[in-house]
A and B are shown apart, each in its own frame.
Chain A
């Protein structure tokens, strides 16, 4: 039940894109087409789960025992960058279909702040290993849900008559506002 709560809160209530405002660059950047947003979502789910496990282990097995917490930021970002490279190599060799689906989004992920944010937040919330795995799964599912829904809306929007000054990004932001409003409605559900 507690794990379900963590998952649900990360998935909808504190949706990383629409409520926490993390990883917005990719939210607006790759959501113009449904295909690209699906590719990005897959890559995020894959990388986030692995990197949050590794960064949790590094923090609790190396940084804490040696009192090196002040190297946290540098260690995490380098770990994530290195992991992304390794994962790319591995996927290319072992699971080429998945590699093709994620395509160019894997390298882009290093600068996706959601990955780093989840590593930090899991430590700030003092989650244990299992909890932080569930948390990162919830966050990445929430990311996928929001970005894929948004891509569907934006594909429709390309055909809509929009006032001149609002074309392009401004209307995308207004749309995101409405989605954010909808997600705000999840707050307080199940007493979370």
Chain B
């Protein structure tokens, strides 16, 4: 993926750029909002990662300007300004995701990759498939190896999110954010326990697990490799 990084802290910019490059992405890094805007108008990055407090042109204005210029690439704000009202401002300006500093690189990577995929999917899917598990988005049912799996509303939402991102890591904070719409530390193992319930239905009765835990921060769905 072609990723635009707009971050004025050189050390953070360097870490992020190197980390993304290591994962095989091409990164254009800018420390100034105006320069980044000028670059964007003729280059078309797949995803933009933008700080809010920037010299030249602040992040909010940059994203508004991009949207006004008809640029629709997904944007993630990476900023120390991550209070509820500031997040709302960010989404209003046209951002697609919001990550507060300090952050883990793996969290940023997972969110950027999830955003990058969103851009490609032109036709809306009606059926998601991972190995022998099928999720019918129209009929709202899950079938694995010919057996229908009964799911509660939350379990369905969790599974849908994991399957939409099949092969990519979905972090715990992304799940909290997207499934429960909360952006605070829940203080106990809430996501883990919900995922383990889901596993009990989706994986346990079958011989090959599809939901895999990634180190200590997220989950990825894939078939046997």
Partners in one complex: no
Q: Which residues of A contact B (CB under 8 A)?
A: none
